Amino acid sequence: MLYDIHLKIAYIYDAPVLTGRHLVHLWPPHVAGIQEISNAALTFLPEPAEQSGFRDYFGNWTSEVVFEEAHRQFEAVLSARVNRHEAPRESGASIDFDRLKPALNAVRSLAPDSPLHFLGTTPRVRPNLVLQDYVSDLAPAGATVREIVQRLGERLHEDMTFDSSATSVDTRHEDAFASRRGVCQDFSHIMIAALRSVGIPAGYVSGCLRTEPPPGRERLEGADAMHAWVRAWCGPQAGWVEYDPTNACDVGVNHIVIGYGRDYADVSPVKGVLRSASGQAGSQAVDVVPVQV
248 closest CA partner among 132, 156, 138: 156
Q: 3-state SS of the chain: helix, strand, coil percent to 5?
A: 20, 40, 40
* Residue 201 shares a structural domain with residue 286: no
* Residue 161 shares a structural domain with residue 67: no
* Residue 280 shares a structural domain with residue 214: no
User: Rounded to the nearest 5°, which phi and psi values hold at 266?
Assistant: -75, -25
188 closest CA partner among 233, 144, 143, 157: 157
CATH of the domain at 259: 3.10.620.30
* Residue 151 shares a structural domain with residue 279: no
* Residue 172 shares a structural domain with residue 251: yes
The total of structural domains in the chain comes to 2
* Residue 283 shares a structural domain with residue 257: no
Does 90 reside within a domain? no
* Residue 106 shares a structural domain with residue 232: yes
User: Interhelix angle for 184-197 vs 129-136, to 10°?
Assistant: 80
The reported pTM is 0.95
The boundaries of the domain holding residue 146 are 97-265
* Residue 74 shares a structural domain with residue 165: no
Per-residue pLDDT of the chain (293 residues; tens, 9 = 90+): 999 999 999 999 999 999 999 999 999 999 999 999 999 999 999 999 999 999 999 999 999 999 999 999 999 999 999 999 987 776 579 999 999 999 999 999 999 999 999 999 999 999 999 999 999 999 898 999 999 999 999 999 999 999 999 999 999 999 999 999 999 999 999 999 999 999 999 999 999 999 776 677 776 766 678 999 999 999 999 999 999 999 999 999 999 999 999 999 999 999 999 998 888 999 999 999 999 87
Q: Is 105 left (phi over 0), alpha (psi -120 to 50) or beta?
A: alpha
DSSP 138: T
* Residue 117 shares a structural domain with residue 261: yes
Does 91 reside within a domain? no
**CA terminus-to-terminus distance, the chain:** 10
* Residue 73 shares a structural domain with residue 110: no
